Amino acid sequence: MFDSGALQRLIAENTRGPIDAYYKIRALVCVEIWCRQFADAPAP
């Protein structure tokens, strides 16, 4: 769903300090959690 290279660069830049990507990373984590709970969940 997401470009893993772009995510790795975003996290690396956030860690090194040139950018503050906290809200972007948090939003992506929320999407991941939502997908695991609803999109990837087996049908009832």
Radius of gyration for the chain, computed over Cα atoms and rounded to the nearest angstrom: 13
pLDDT in 10s for each residue of the chain, 44 residues: 789 999 999 999 999 998 999 999 999 999 999 999 998 877 77
Q: Where are the domains of the chain?
A: 4-39
Q: What share of the chain is helix, strand, coil (3-state, %, to 5)?
A: 70, 0, 30
Q: Looking at residue 28, what is its pLDDT?
A: 95
What's the token pair of residue 19?
Answer: 């950018």
